[in-house]
Amino acid sequence: MFRYFFMLVCLCFFTACERVTDQSESPDPLGDFALGYSVVVAPHPVAGPMSRPATDDEWIAAVKKALDQRFDRYKGDKLYHIAVSVDGYMLAKPGIPVLLSPKSALILNATIWDDAAGVKLNEKPHQIAVIESLTVKTLIGSGLTMSRRAQLENLSRNAALSVERWMTSMMVKKRWFGVVSKRAVR
């Protein structure tokens, strides 16, 4: 029994030490990217089973705010636009701590537009699925420890970070944002 308690305490400690990306730091380079504008729509997001409710307007406002905060930091020479569609979500309800504590999740599709060329960089929207950040609060169960609004904002920040990571990978793979792939130079 002591072993399990010790493992739980260690897990909580290491989770609390998790580094959260500070958006006040200068971001990793993203080529000539500068945010023109972000467009977020939620035509008919599907709520998961036993999810707390959220309106389309709440999702639009939260995801747009997270995208703008994350991408306004880039000061490239060329404008790009980010279009996102919120397609599904699950905002965890209170459950039995640790044993039955559902996780919150968000599914969205993203498309990047080149402003000057007036074209999409990705023909098909890129689907992204995110879950809530692992913290001491979410370990017990975000339904018990976080408000619906806090869950929504947590998922929106994670979604913006996932969009940024995807864009960074495409910068190298597909030479987005004026960046020549290191493989192409060889």
CATH code at 67?
3.30.160
pLDDT for the residue numbered 144:
53
Rounded average pLDDT over 106-121: 96
In this prediction, residue 29 has a pLDDT band, given cuts at 50, 70 and 90, of: confident
| 60 contacts 106 by C-beta, under 8 angstroms | no
| Total H helices, total E strands in the chain | 6, 6
Model confidence at 94, pLDDT cuts 50, 70, 90, reads confident
Q: Which of 45, 30, 27 is nearest to 156 (CA)?
A: 45
In a domain, 10, yes or no: no
Number of domains in the chain: 1
User: Does residue 57 form part of some domain?
Assistant: yes
Question: Which of 14-18, 88-92, 107-111, 180-184 is the most confident on average?
Answer: 107-111
Instruction: State which residues form the domain around 145.
Output: 29-185
Q: Provide the CA 109 distance to its chain's centre, in angstroms.
A: 11
* pTM of the shown model: 0.79
